[in-house]
Structure 1
Amino acid sequence: MKRILVTGSTGTLGRTVVALLQSRGAEVNTLSRRPGRASHQGDLVTGAGLDAALDGVGTVVHCASDTRAQGKTDVPGTRHLLDAAARAGHPHVIFVSIVGVDRIPYPYYRVKLEVEGMVEAYGGTILRATQFHDFVLSGARLAARLPFVPAPDVPVQPVSTDDVADRIVELVDAPPAPGRVADLGGPEVLHAPDVFRSYLQAVGSRRRVVPVRLPGAVFRAFRQGHHLTPAGASSGERWSSFLDTLSGTPAGR
Structure 2
Amino acid sequence: MKRILVTGITGTLGRQVAGMLRSFGAEVRGLSRRPGQDFQGDLADGSGLGAALSGVDTVVHCASDTRRLGRGDLQGLRNLLAAAGRAGRPHVVFVSIVGVDVIPYPYYRVKLAAEGLVEGYGGTILRATQFHEFVLGGARIAARLPVVFAPDVPVQPISTRDVATRIAELADGPPAGRVPDLGGPEILRAPDLFRDYLQATGRDRRLVPVRLPGATFGAFRRGAHLAPSHRSGGERWADFLHARTSG
- The TM-score with structure 1 as length reference comes to 0.96
The aligned counterpart of 2:62 is 63
Question: In the comparison of the two structures, how many residue pairs are matched?
Answer: 247
Q: Which amino acid aligns with 1:82?
A: L
- Match runs of 1:25-104 below 5 Å: 25-36=25-36, 38-104=37-103
List gaps (5 residues or longer) in structure 2: none
Q: Deviations over 1:10-60 (max 9, x none)?
A: 000000001111223211110110112x11000000100000000110000
Could you say what secondary structure the match of 2:46 adopts? coil
Matched with 1:119 is 118
**Larger deviation, residues 40-49 vs 201-210:** 201-210
Structure 1 gaps of 5+ residues are none
SS of 2:194's partner is helix
Instruction: Note if 1:169 corresponds to 2:191.
Output: no
Name the stretch that deviates more: 167-176 or 51-60. Answer: 167-176
3-state SS of 2:229 partner: helix
Offset from partner CA, 1:66-117 (integer Å, 9 cap, x none): 1011000110000000000000000000000000000000000000000000
Deviations 1:204-241 (A, max 9, x none): 11212110110000000000000000011100000001
Relative to the length of structure 2, the TM-score reads 0.98
Counterpart-to-counterpart distance in 2, 1:212 and 1:119: 36
Distance in 2, Cα, partners of 1:247 & 1:133: 13
Is 1:22 paired with 2:22?
yes
Q: Is the 8 A contact 1:150 1:211 kept in 2?
A: yes
Are the counterparts in 1 of residues 98 and 225 from structure 2 also a CA contact under 8 Å?
yes
SS for the counterpart of 2:139 is: helix
SS at match of 2:6: strand
Instruction: State percent identity of aligned pairs.
Output: 71
Q: Is the 1:204–1:248 contact (alpha carbons within 8 Å) kept by the matching residues of 2?
A: no
Q: CA deviation at 1:248?
A: 4.4
Q: Does 80-89 or 204-213 show the bigger shift?
A: 204-213
Find the aligned partners of 1:57 and 1:211 in 2 and give their Cα distance.
Answer: 48
Counterpart selection for 1:241 from 236, 239, 245: 239
Aligned Cα RMSD in Å? 0.9
Q: 1:142-181: per-residue Cα shift (whole Å, max 9, x none)?
A: 000000110000000000000000000111122221x210
